[in-house]
Structure 1
Amino acid sequence: MKVAVLGLDCATPQLVFDQFKSDLPNLSRLMAEGIYGELESTHPPITVPAWSCMMSSRDPGELGCYGFRNRKDHSYNGYSLANALAVQEPLVWDYLQEQGLRSILLGVPQTYPPRPILGEMVTCFLTPSTQSEYTYPAALKDEIERISGGYILDVENFRTDNKQAILDQIFEMTRRRFRVAKHLIAHHPWDFFMMVEMGVDRIHHGFWKYFDREHPKYEPGNPFENAMREYYQFVDQEIGEILSLLGQDCAVMVVSDHGAKKMVGGICINEWLMKQGYLRLKEAPSKPTPFSKVEIDWDHTLAWGEGGYYGRLFLNVKGREPRGQIEPGDYEKVRDRLIADIQAIEDPAGRGIGSIAMRPEELYRATRGIPPDLIVYFGNLDWRSVGSVGYGAVHTFDNDTGPDDANHAQHGIFILQVPGRTGGHNHDDLRVYDVAPTILDLFGVSISREMQGKIIR
């Protein structure tokens, strides 16, 4: 048996399993012939590290990757990008390689820079540009450029008001990636094939407000009302062409790393910390300014935060940070107070929004590297975390990194169709950690005891 995994970054169950299902005949057929269900993502539910967690069956703490950027030391500005070099645990294709099984990987996040595998690799959106070495073997690059007509790693500047240009880019990127996928499937030997398409994520962030009638910025009759539905239909057609190439001996899995939901607004995490007395600036900026560009009064600061689809909060601890202020013996007391204060955050109308703050050591089996002191979901991910300062307010309805309509949701999708097995079943209690053991089980490869997921049967 062969196994093909078609990854759709951010594909969300309320669209695939419900709202758009009647327009997705190929995905619907896979559901009818196989099993499917909502797939619980990692904490936090974000592309990096969720795909690596999925392919290793290890959690973010075990990988030491808590997001795209991670603290590399306890300085105030020491961060590193979580690329392939950050992932030290074995991944599905490493286990398969030990059995002499060949893999083709296309666009799987956290595979740049490329490394040798038994098979071929085209790296991911973290690749700086197509001028970089982004394939293994290196000679594959010329073939990819020729077949694709110029490979596109990611949509440039997808947070912009030039919506038609972004929409055109998303469709063209997806068209070229699937063109490469079909070529590799048809012309290169493989046992395991995996691709991840980023266009689904990009169209959610760029166009969610145009279709979701519950979005606070939705406008009826807008010109992009059907853009997301048409894109999902386009992806489904491309998947149908992939399926026609796979043959009768191939198990097919369609997965996403997390889902999506409307974004109500942003909580300015550092503005909030200042108002609560946890953070002090030497001079407040007169306009929104990235946190890294303002001068912090570290001698009077207990905590600071990072922006993103979720919040990361760091404490200024004596003996740990260069100018720490919190006595180690008071660390838990300060964390407890912050958790309670975060839970009490209200919207502009004075209503609670249901924010939660989590201790990493309670989420993960291990906390390697330097984890945040707290991981925060504002409004249970209805609100994003905004790190910039200078707003003069806790709430904002404009994103500091450009227009963005959607936040990440905790559940993605899982579909599995296996030749010769009956299906049509909707499964519950599925997690990203279950994907790697299930793939290995399909090949008859034994499951590592270090994996925390179960085999989906």
Structure 2
Amino acid sequence: MNDSQNRVLIIGLDGATWDVLDPWMRDGTLPHLARLRDKGSWGVLRSTIPPVTAPAWSSFMTGKKPGKHGVFHFIRLFEEEKAGTASQFVSAETLRSPAIWDVLGHHDRMVGLINIPLTYPPRPVNGFMISGLLTPKHAKIFTYPPELSGCLTDYQIDLDRFAGKTPYQDEFDEGSTTPTLEFLGEFRSMLEKRARASLDLIGLRPWDFFMVVFTGPDRLGHYFWNYHAPVNPESDNPELTDGVRRYYIRLDEIVGELVERAGRDTNILVMSDHGMGPVPPKQIHIATWLQQQGWLTARARRAAVPGPDIILARLRIGRDRLGRVMKWVPGLLKSRVVRRTINDRALAVDEQRSMAYSVPIFFNVTGIRLNVKGEAARKAAVQNLERNLSRISDPDTGKQVITEVFPGREYYSGVAAERVPDLIAIADPQYCFKHALGFYSSIVTGRQDVRGPAKHRMEGIFMARGKGIPVRTEPVRSVHLEDIAPTALHLMGLPVPSDMDGRILTEIFSSQYNRSRPVAYEEPRGFWPNPVRPEFSSNAMSAEDEAIIENQLRSLGYLE
């Protein structure tokens, strides 16, 4: 173990957002987090595209964008289906790049890692690791060294009881989960178990780099967003609102205890992988827009009876307006026949004959694939689509709804980017993309089926306190997830691998610190201890484990 002034403690608050934390930090509800911000540097931390847990934490741990590390979503998003593929879900084995703990291992620095998503199956580190999200429920070995698993007799990685249910589904759906104090209490219990393990291990084990991720802010965002007082002070359930507030108070106390046990000279980083915000009330019918613009071709419907969209088009009644009528008629939505009719699609996309078609990525992120031959023709198509996508507007407000359009390789560059879409479009988070063809009253319409109280946002949180980090009253700008790993290595007095996409956040340090510790880089050393390939435990994921994980991801809105 090295000089404590070169030690780093990273506290991850999955899904944390300034929209919730800032008001509570200002009014004294969260004094420990407020103290960290008041004594150092802070800002908005921009997540990955899309802002999903799996690629986000992967970008943090590797210092690279998804095009280099190979994780684009919880599923193998841009990979072609291959015979014999073990799982559609990503895991630690999916990562193509070394993590920051590999770099630290090569420099003989000891690490302690707790609950970081996408660290299962566990592999050797110079220290210890407890795996995080996507660890199978029945995994007997979820740590390195393996014997540590047997010591964690009262530890819980995630909540399983409600894994197959989706929060706040419409009343006709029997798979909904109603927010209750009991449910909130289970999250609180899981927090306490994580805290006990973290506080014990930070004091008992030697370390130079210690990290723990608390998933509560994300889970409470998905299930209890409407009971976060800073974003909804007029809650319909004061008890739940108070319960959420007390959860955050306890989380803040745990942060304070971790900081105290780490020692006064330890450098502290607090971060989230993404932010949270309300579910989008409107949708953009991107496939229908592409069809109307002449880019997308639909397959002919092979049926004796015309499909519902053909009938609706003749009547000039959009699906969105029909949906409102259905909701106004009591009990009609409960009819399976009616719901099947509403969900039936008269037309399907013919990807082979289309010049362009959409690829779902995230609720407000879509890809566009082109079937255009010739470099000049492709360039013209890209320019045309970029220009016209940016012009799509909300008929109710006149507001342009797509905020960013850019070539896929512009962001997803790297060895894992062979199959990325030609274009990426990001919508204002008040809108989501709809990829099914249908007849609608407008390209932008209101959503009939608003599920879940919260969705991920690009804007996460970042705080840094430590040697050479002066107090800042204004937020630091342009902080990205991939910047955290190189900045942590710099704080530890180590060179940064030259293939990392992230940068050292030199602006958070004093000029004297920057002069005394110049930025240094080194050639990548690969994985640890075997530089060529990582060595994983032999834990295989069973079909039952995969089904449980799929239900869990669906319940959180990560899979459609």
Normalized against structure 2, the TM-score is what? 0.69
Distance 1:201 1:251, change over 3 A: same
Matched residues in 2 for 1:202 and 1:93: separation? 27
Contact preservation (8 Å) 2:111, 2:208: yes
Q: Select which of 269, 293, 303 maps to 2:357.
A: 303
Matched residues in 2 for 1:328 and 1:427: separation? 46
Q: In the TM superposition, what is the alpha-carbon distance from 1:364 to its structure 2 partner? A: 4.7
Q: Select which of 6, 15, 18 maps to 1:10.
A: 15
Q: In the TM superposition, what is the alpha-carbon distance from 1:453 to its structure 2 partner? A: 0.8
Contact preservation (8 Å) 1:441, 1:455: no
Residue 97 of structure 1 aligns to a residue in which SS? Answer: helix
Contact preservation (8 Å) 1:151, 1:176: no
Letter in 2 for 1:415: M
Letter in 2 for 1:423: V
Report the equivalent of 2:210: 193
Report the equivalent of 2:463: 415
Matched residues in 1 for 2:297 and 2:359: separation? 10
Distance 1:199 1:328, change over 3 A: farther
Distance 1:247 1:345, change over 3 A: same
Q: Select which of 478, 500, 504 maps to 1:454.
A: 504
- Is residue 439 from structure 1 mapped to residue 493 from structure 2 by the alignment? no
Q: Select which of 81, 93, 113 maps to 1:85.
A: 93
Report the equivalent of 2:525: none
Distance 1:406 1:62, change over 3 A: same
Matched residues in 2 for 1:25 and 1:45: separation? 28
Report the equivalent of 1:320: none
Matched residues in 2 for 1:273 and 1:168: separation? 47
Tell me which structure has the larger Cα radius of gyration: 2
Q: Deviation digits for residues 35-63 of structure 1, max 9, x if unmatched?
A: 22222323333322122212222122222
Matched residues in 1 for 2:243 and 2:411: separation? 37
Report the equivalent of 1:246: 262
Letter in 2 for 1:252: I
Q: In the TM superposition, what is the alpha-carbon distance from 1:306 to its structure 2 partner? A: 1.1
Letter in 1 for 2:277: K
Report the equivalent of 2:425: 376
Q: In the TM superposition, what is the alpha-carbon distance from 1:15 to its structure 2 partner? A: 2.6
Report the equivalent of 2:512: none
Residue 229 of structure 1 aligns to a residue in which SS? Answer: helix
Matched residues in 2 for 1:226 and 1:53: separation? 35
- Is residue 363 from structure 1 mapped to residue 416 from structure 2 by the alignment? no
Matched residues in 2 for 1:39 and 1:388: separation? 33
Letter in 1 for 2:407: R
Contact preservation (8 Å) 2:10, 2:268: yes
Report the equivalent of 1:175: 192
Matched residues in 1 for 2:475 and 2:273: separation? 17
Residue 304 of structure 1 aligns to a residue in which SS? Answer: strand
Report the equivalent of 2:367: 313
Unaligned runs of 5+ in 1: 318-325
Residue 117 of structure 1 aligns to a residue in which SS? Answer: coil
Report the equivalent of 1:102: 110
Matched residues in 2 for 1:339 and 1:418: separation? 44
Q: Deviation digits for residues 334-377 of structure 1, max 9, x if unmatched?
A: 33333334323333626334313222222355363321222222
Letter in 2 for 1:64: G
Q: Deviation digits for residues 161-197 of structure 1, max 9, x if unmatched?
A: 3111543343233222222212221222222111112
Residue 200 of structure 2 aligns to a residue in which SS? Answer: helix
Report the equivalent of 1:160: 167
Letter in 1 for 2:99: L
Q: In the TM superposition, what is the alpha-carbon distance from 1:303 to its structure 2 partner? A: 0.8
Q: Select which of 134, 140, 147 maps to 1:126.
A: 134
Distance 1:398 1:170, change over 3 A: farther
Matched residues in 1 for 2:473 and 2:252: separation? 20
Q: In the TM superposition, what is the alpha-carbon distance from 1:271 to its structure 2 partner? A: 5.0
Report the equivalent of 1:258: 274
Contact preservation (8 Å) 2:132, 2:157: no
Alignment of 1:229-240 (within 5 A): 229-240=245-256
Letter in 2 for 1:120: F
Distance 1:98 1:332, change over 3 A: same
Unaligned runs of 5+ in 2: 169-177, 302-306, 308-339, 510-560
Letter in 2 for 1:66: F
Distance 1:120 1:371, change over 3 A: same
Letter in 1 for 2:66: P
Q: In the TM superposition, what is the alpha-carbon distance from 1:140 to its structure 2 partner? A: 1.7
Distance 1:299 1:38, change over 3 A: closer
- Is residue 280 from structure 1 mapped to residue 333 from structure 2 by the alignment? no
Normalized against structure 1, the TM-score is what? 0.83
Q: In the TM superposition, what is the alpha-carbon distance from 1:7 to its structure 2 partner? A: 0.3
Residue 362 of structure 2 aligns to a residue in which SS? Answer: coil
Matched residues in 2 for 1:246 and 1:213: separation? 30
Distance 1:197 1:130, change over 3 A: farther
Q: In the TM superposition, what is the alpha-carbon distance from 1:261 to its structure 2 partner? A: 2.5
Contact preservation (8 Å) 2:41, 2:464: yes
Report the equivalent of 1:327: 373
Letter in 2 for 1:360: G
Q: Deviation digits for residues 203-250 of structure 1, max 9, x if unmatched?
A: 2222334447978xx965444445543332221122122223222342
Q: Select which of 24, 34, 41 maps to 1:35.
A: 41
**Would you say how many aligned residue pairs link Structure 1 and Structure 2?**
437
Matched residues in 2 for 1:97 and 1:241: separation? 27
Q: Deviation digits for residues 391-437 of structure 1, max 9, x if unmatched?
A: 9676453568xx32223333221112226865355441233232112
Report the equivalent of 1:323: none
Matched residues in 2 for 1:90 and 1:432: separation? 16
Contact preservation (8 Å) 1:307, 1:388: no
Distance 1:219 1:27, change over 3 A: closer
Contact preservation (8 Å) 1:72, 1:80: no
Distance 1:177 1:353, change over 3 A: farther
Q: Deviation digits for residues 377-398 of structure 1, max 9, x if unmatched?
A: 222x222334566796764535
- Residue identity over aligned pairs, in percent, reads 28
Matched residues in 2 for 1:387 and 1:227: separation? 38
Matched residues in 1 for 2:494 and 2:100: separation? 10
